């Protein structure tokens, strides 16, 4: 076994690999960019090496710098995790040339399966069924348009390189095809350095089911059952489970055998995943989609139902050891939820900020890369952590996961935790009626801040203002007392879509002039206890300047205090100011100052955390101001442009 292993990754997967290395008695070496100097994966590793600035291309995607760090620290092997260079054939080859063991499959397997076009051709030759489409290399935009006409809409455009849903575009009609191809090429080029595209028939009501395979260097290949990954948004998985509630034992055996055949066809070693698509209407029919030649984000659910540590087996196989099992029985059910820095009520746009406090649930597995002080920016993927629950049955596992998410709090950065609980309670999810479009069919998620949160914020403010000490001057008590009676304590807050004025008089609280409600609160460190209208609430709290963060029952609210002298910030209907919906980088500017534009016309494309968002004109008019250019970093709500209506111009 190796003595020292370098982890060419960051965040929760780097922390998770470090954990297994420590248990095996292997020294861990972390690498980090300037943005991650104080990151959790850096602090928990035995050694850490700086490899460059925040931009991934100059750090986590820099093959020379990572190889140099491995050689300088005496590493014998490199574990790539997932993402970044995990499926980069040049990186695997560079490891070999430097005398380092790449903890993953051989170069030939990565080459065969890393390119989706070649992968489909390879598995077809092995008798594995594939989705109908065109997979010739080097197809032009015109070729893709012609192929779509042949296949028939809807179609799925996919980059030939990479994975993780990046660059994928679902196109329902010919009118949107050209823009989808342009956007897919741009994202594929930016994410993988390769804008080659392929096109497939989109299977109606598809279920995304993948088979975990494990192979050694002695010719042994087995499968470890399947994972259901159909709950997705923007082709990114958010909840995964093992086993699938769809498959019968016969179907599992068929798909497992097909996955083993695909792995054998390329001489696969280590842990890998064969991804398949299954029609919810025809569950006996499946098609190969692609093979991920690396560890998957969702690997913990397989670990919990098999009892195996997949990272340990990756290391053992890489060190030349043979598999000690020919099959592994599945025990119970496991479900994983991915915690992202995003706002589900704003179409899952990325968020950001400084993590003020983290509360992790007990009794379940948590794979996390964050801690208090972590800066969540726009340079990397928005996934922060994973919460994974196991139970003897699926129903119990879903219940345990929902309960664990209720006990999860991350203050300082907006997350999707409340949405995950809402999704787990969906009747179709509970019944196992899943498909990859279920999330998009659901009504938009709304999270309006409730009155009790504003009451808690006001009473917390009042408690903080109370004088402390053995002798208290009554004139220092913030009671609002004046001649003729008490005026009470008044404060104005905004949170989410609400801006309210809260008035506290004695033991009563009124919001926006509403009826007084009896309320009381106490604060003990980072805990706030509120009794409001006969009900008791408990919150985790943290403060950052004028913003109070409160978390309870899976929900998190940022409550900002405003001066009572400020005017209400209502939206104007007389103009069309354009602001950034997320922190990120301007990729493309599609209009120029002076252009006449129509409402909905694309103006700019902003990228954050590997996700593109097109900014459109809010009204018909003239682009009178443009404040940014391609390549510029922008902050959340930063002004980008101004569209002035035609009548204002006149």
| Residue partners of 518: CB distance under 8 A and separation at least 6 | 507, 508, 531, 532, 533, 534
> What is the rounded distance in angstroms from the CA atom of residue 17 to the CA atom of residue 299?
12
Burial class (CB in 10 A: 0-12, 13-18, 19+), 220: middle
> What is the rounded distance in angstroms from the CA atom of residue 641 to the CA atom of residue 343?
23
Torsion of CA 514, 519, 523, 529, to 10 degrees: -100
Sheet with 169-171, strands from edge to edge, namely: 133-134, 197-201, 155-159, 169-171
User: What are 73's two structure tokens?
Assistant: 């620290």
Percent of the chain with pLDDT over 90: 73
Task: Say what the pLDDT of residue 477 is.
Answer: 52
For residue 584, the 8-state DSSP code is E
Task: Say what the pLDDT of residue 648 is.
Answer: 60
Task: Please state, as a whole number, how many other Cβ atoms lie within 10 Å of the Cβ of residue 539.
Answer: 27
Task: Say what the pLDDT of residue 468 is.
Answer: 59
Task: Say what the pLDDT of residue 485 is.
Answer: 47
Task: Say what the pLDDT of residue 122 is.
Answer: 87
- Strands (DSSP E) along 496-632, which ranges? 498-505, 508-511, 517-524, 527-532, 535-544, 547-552, 555-562, 576-579, 584-589, 596-597, 602-608, 611-616, 621-626
Task: Say what the pLDDT of residue 13 is.
Answer: 98
Q: How far is CA 401 from CA 71, 390, 406, 554, 596, in A?
A: 42, 8, 9, 11, 51
Task: Say what the pLDDT of residue 141 is.
Answer: 95
User: What are 360's two structure tokens?
Assistant: 């992790």
Which domains are delineated in the chain? 4-103 (3.40.50.20), 132-201 (3.30.1490.20), 451-562 (3.30.700.40), 576-649 (2.40.50.100)
Task: Say what the pLDDT of residue 490 is.
Answer: 93
| Residues of the chain with confidence (pLDDT) below 50 | 475, 483-485, 566-573
* Phi-psi group of 396: left, alpha or beta (phi > 0 → left; psi -120 to 50 → alpha; rest → beta): alpha
> What is the rounded distance in angstroms from the CA atom of residue 498 to the CA atom of residue 566?
15
> C-alpha angle 497/613/113, rounded to 5°?
130
The position carrying tokens 């009548």 is: 647
402, 425 contact by CB (below 8 A): yes
Percent of the chain with pLDDT over 70: 93
């Amino acid at each position: 076994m190796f003595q020292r292993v370098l982890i060419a990754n960051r965040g929760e997967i780097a922390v998770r690999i470090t954990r297994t290395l420590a248990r095996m008695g292997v020294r861990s070496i972390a690498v980090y960019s300037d943005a991650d100097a104080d990151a959790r994966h850096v602090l928990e590793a035995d050694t850490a090496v700086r490899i460059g600035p925040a931009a991934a291309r100059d750090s986590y995607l820099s093959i020379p710098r990572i190889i140099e760090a491995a050689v300088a620290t005496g590493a014998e092997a490199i574990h790539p995790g997932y993402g970044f260079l995990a499926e980069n054939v040049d990186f695997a080859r560079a490891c070999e040339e430097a005398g380092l063991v790449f903890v993953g499959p051989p170069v030939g397997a990565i080459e065969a399966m890393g390119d989706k076009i070649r992968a489909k051709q390879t598995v077809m030759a092995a008798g594995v069924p594939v989705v109908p489409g065109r997979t010739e290399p080097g197809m032009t935009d015109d070729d893709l348009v012609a192929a779509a006409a042949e296949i028939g809409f809807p179609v799925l455009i996919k980059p030939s390189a990479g994975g993780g849903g990046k660059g994928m575009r679902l196109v329902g009609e010919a009118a949107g095809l050209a823009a989808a191809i342009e956007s897919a090429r741009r994202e594929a080029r930016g994410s993988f350095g390769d804008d080659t595209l392929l096109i497939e028939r989109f299977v109606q009501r598809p279920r995304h089911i993948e088979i975990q395979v494990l192979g050694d260097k002695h010719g042994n290949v087995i499968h470890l059952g399947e994972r259901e990954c159909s709950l997705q948004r923007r082709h990114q998985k958010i909840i995964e489970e093992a086993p699938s509630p769809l498959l019968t034992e016969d179907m599992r055996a068929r798909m497992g055998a097909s996955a083993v055949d695909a792995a054998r066809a390329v001489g696969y070693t280590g842990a890998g995943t064969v991804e398949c698509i299954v029609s919810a209407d025809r569950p006996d029919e499946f098609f190969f989609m692609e093979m991920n030649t690396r560890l998957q984000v969702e690997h913990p659910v397989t670990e919990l139902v098999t009892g195996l540590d997949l990272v340990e087996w990756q290391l053992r196989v890489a060190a030349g050891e043979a598999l000690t099992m020919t099959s592994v029985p599945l025990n119970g059910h496991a479900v994983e939820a991915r915690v992202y820095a995003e706002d589900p009520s704003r179409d899952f746009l990325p968020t950001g900020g400084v993590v003020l406090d983290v509360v992790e649930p007990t009794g379940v597995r948590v794979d996390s890369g964050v801690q208090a002080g972590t800066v969540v920016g726009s340079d990397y993927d928005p996934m922060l952590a994973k919460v994974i629950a196991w139970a003897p049955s699926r129903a119990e596992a879903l219940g345990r996961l929902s309960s664990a998410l209720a006990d999860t709090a991350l203050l300082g950065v907006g997350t999707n935790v409340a949405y995950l609980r809402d999704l787990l309670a969906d009747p179709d999810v509970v019944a196992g009626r899943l498909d990859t479009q279920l999330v998009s069919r659901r009504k938009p998620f709304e999270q309006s801040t409730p009155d009790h949160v504003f009451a808690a914020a006001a009473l917390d403010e009042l408690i903080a203002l109370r004088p402390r000490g053995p002798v208290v001057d009554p004139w220092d008590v913030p009671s609002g007392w004046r001649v003729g009676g008490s005026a009470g304590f008044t404060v104005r807050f905004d949170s989410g879509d609400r801006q309210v004025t809260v008035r506290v008089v004695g033991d009563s609280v009124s919001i926006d002039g509403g009826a007084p409600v009896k309320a009381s609160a106490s604060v003990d460190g980072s805990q706030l206890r509120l009794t409001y209208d006969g009900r008791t609430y408990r919150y985790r709290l943290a403060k950052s300047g004028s913003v109070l963060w409160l978390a309870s029952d899976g929900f998190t609210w940022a409550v900002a205090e405003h001066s009572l002298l400020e005017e209400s910030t209502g939206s104007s209907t007389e103009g069309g100011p354009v602001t950034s919906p997320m922190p990120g980088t301007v990729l493309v500017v599609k209009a120029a100052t002076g252009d006449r534009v129509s409402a909905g016309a694309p103006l700019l494309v902003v990228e954050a955390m590997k996700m593109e968002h097109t900014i459109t004109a809010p009204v018909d008019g003239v682009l009178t101001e443009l404040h940014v250019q391609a390549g510029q970093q922008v902050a959340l709500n930063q002004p980008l442009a101004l569209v002035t209506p035609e009548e204002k111009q006149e």
